[in-house]
């Protein structure tokens, strides 16, 4: 895409009300705009990042046999009364013109459990896994962490349905791996800990995926002896000891929860009478699991972890474009070479943002490039063309180097 055609612009200062690094940088770079506390618009660059994250998650969910669906955001009171969660204070409630009660979904157990009832009769219908990537709503009291805590936010939620606990256990383990694959591609896996959390009534533990960052709203406890991480709730239960080895010197770290997985077991199938006839011809309750990732939050966390004082440093897999092609100065020769490269890259399927703006200085363009944070910067100028070259710079490295234009294709093929 030509940058001259991108309708957004970068800004030097984020609005004062934005306190978090992710909101500051994403706002300054033109990725998002706040409509109100916890509610953001994704602008073209931010939308592209969101789509990349979505595709990474979709691929992983498909690889564990997830079947994609889309459930509504608008829920009926009836479903939530059945489980006794209608009173949940974070749930937005509303009425229509006929005074009927509705709520806005923040999770979908109340919708999917009755939905799948008609499709489950026998053990032969199990297991299966349904997921969606869908807009959620939570009436949060304090929202000051940009995309890390949203009032409206995109989430992937998968629900699994099993004939017995063993099958649930085995899928649960698969999902742990799938989640780490996702976080790996998002550049977060080295800072992300599988963290023991309270499991509700039926499971001993559930698991959170906690990413270490000073801007995190959570605290987790790390045992360096056995590499275990536990959340606040668990450490209280365990009286400040590691639940595995008993070690008492745990380090406390700020973290942000970017995903969670939970064995619901029979909790919801009991309430909604989600039964099946087993091999032994006896009627049994379905075992369920649920597995969430906040997409907007993930985007915020990526920025919290991957930035410097100049701007964002996008990991390759989630960058809105791979290459920032910058033309410095305007004359016929430079225009021709730069535009030629732009067309070449596109033909090769390399995503490129081409800074063709004529009213910006080289300095302004470089500042913008650092702020927007694409992985590879390629500069075409009078100086580089004198030696038939372009200047390359990786966003996460300091050095620049000249490369002959004829060698560029080979370099890019290796880099992509």
Question: Which stretches of the chain bind a second copy, using CB under 8 A?
Answer: 5-9, 11, 33, 35-36, 39-44, 46-47, 50, 65, 67-76, 89, 92-94, 96-98, 102, 104, 111, 115-116, 118-119, 124-125, 128, 130, 135, 137, 139, 141, 151-152, 161, 359
At its nearest, how many Å lie between a second copy and the CB of residue 379? 24
Cα separations in angstroms, 198 against 159, 221, 260, 290: 19, 14, 11, 14
At its nearest, how many Å lie between a second copy and the CB of residue 330? 15
Nearer to a second copy, 70 or 398 (CB): 70
Nearer to a second copy, 92 or 339 (CB): 92
Cβ burial, residue 140 (10 Å; 0-12/13-18/19+): middle
Contact 318, 187 (CB under 8 A): yes
Read off the DSSP letter of residue 83: T
Nearer to a second copy, 50 or 145 (CB): 50
The tokens for 298 are 């993930």
Q: Which of 157, 149, 151 is nearest to 138 (CA)?
A: 151
At its nearest, how many Å lie between a second copy and the CB of residue 205? 28
Close Cβ partners of 394 (under 8 Å, ≥ 6 residues apart): 375, 376, 377
At its nearest, how many Å lie between a second copy and the CB of residue 50? 7
At its nearest, how many Å lie between a second copy and the CB of residue 102? 8
End-to-end CA distance of the chain: 18
At its nearest, how many Å lie between a second copy and the CB of residue 47? 5
At its nearest, how many Å lie between a second copy and the CB of residue 39? 5
Close Cβ partners of 286 (under 8 Å, ≥ 6 residues apart): 120, 126, 161, 162, 163, 266, 269, 274, 275, 276
Nearer to a second copy, 118 or 399 (CB): 118
Rounded Cα distance, 253 and 145, in Å: 17
Nearer to a second copy, 51 or 232 (CB): 51
Contact 136, 153 (CB under 8 A): yes
Contact 171, 129 (CB under 8 A): yes
Nearer to a second copy, 6 or 334 (CB): 6
Nearer to a second copy, 37 or 285 (CB): 37
Nearer to a second copy, 94 or 245 (CB): 94
| CA-based radius of gyration for the chain | 25
At its nearest, how many Å lie between a second copy and the CB of residue 53? 13
The tokens for 284 are 């049994």
Rounded Cα distance, 42 and 124, in Å: 43
Backbone angles phi, psi at 182, to 5 degrees: -60, -50
At its nearest, how many Å lie between a second copy and the CB of residue 72? 5
Q: Taking the alpha carbons of 145, 146, 151, 157 in that order, is the dihedral positive or negative?
A: negative
Cβ burial, residue 40 (10 Å; 0-12/13-18/19+): buried
At its nearest, how many Å lie between a second copy and the CB of residue 236? 27
Nearer to a second copy, 38 or 243 (CB): 38
Beta carbons within 10 angstroms of residue 252's beta carbon:
11
Nearer to a second copy, 121 or 388 (CB): 121
Cα separations in angstroms, 9 against 146, 150, 320: 19, 24, 15
């Amino acid at each position: 895409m030509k940058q001259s055609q991108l309708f957004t612009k970068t800004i030097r200062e984020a609005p004062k009300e934005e306190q978090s690094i992710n909101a500051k940088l994403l706002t300054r770079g033109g990725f998002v705009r706040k409509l109100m506390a916890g509610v953001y618009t994704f602008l073209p660059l931010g939308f592209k990042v969101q789509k990349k994250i979505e595709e990474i998650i979709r691929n992983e969910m498909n690889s564990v046999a997830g079947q994609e669906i889309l459930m509504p955001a608008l829920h009926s009171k009836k479903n939530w009364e059945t489980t006794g969660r209608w009173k949940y204070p974070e749930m937005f409630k509303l009425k229509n013109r006929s005074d009927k009660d509705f709520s806005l979904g923040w999770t979908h157990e109340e919708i999917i459990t009755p939905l799948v009832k008609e499709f489950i009769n026998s053990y032969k219908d199990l297991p299966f896994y349904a997921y969606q990537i869908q807009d959620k709503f939570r009436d949060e009291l304090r929202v000051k962490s940009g995309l890390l805590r949203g009032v409206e936010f995109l989430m992937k939620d998968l629900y699994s349905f099993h004939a017995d606990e063993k099958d649930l256990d085995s899928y649960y383990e698969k999902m742990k791996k799938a989640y780490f694959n996702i976080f790996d591609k998002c550049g977060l896996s080295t800072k992300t800990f599988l963290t023991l959390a309270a499991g509700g009534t039926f499971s001993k533990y559930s698991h959170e995926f906690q990413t270490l960052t000073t801007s995190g709203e959570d605290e987790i406890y790390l045992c360096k002896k056995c590499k275990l991480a536990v959340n606040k709730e668990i450490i209280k239960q365990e009286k400040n000891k590691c639940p595995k080895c008993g070690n008492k010197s745990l380090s406390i770290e700020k973290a942000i929860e970017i995903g969670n997985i939970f064995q619901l077991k029979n909790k919801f199938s009991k309430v909604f009478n989600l039964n099946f006839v087993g091999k032994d011809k006896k009627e049994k309750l379905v075992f369920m699991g649920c597995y969430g990732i906040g997409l907007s939050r993930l985007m915020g966390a990526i920025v919290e972890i991957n930035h410097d004082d100049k701007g964002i440093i996008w990991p390759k897999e989630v960058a809105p474009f791979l290459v920032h092609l910058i033309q410095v100065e305007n004359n016929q020769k430079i225009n021709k070479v730069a535009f030629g490269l732009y067309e070449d890259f596109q033909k090769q399927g390399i995503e490129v943002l081409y800074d063709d703006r004529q009213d910006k200085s080289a300095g302004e363009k470089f500042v913008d490039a650092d702020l927007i944070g694409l992985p590879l910067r390629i500069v075409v100028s009078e100086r580089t063309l004198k030696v038939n070259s372009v200047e390359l710079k990786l966003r996460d490295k300091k050095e620049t180097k000249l490369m002959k234009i004829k060698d560029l294709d080979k370099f890019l093929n290796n880099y992509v």
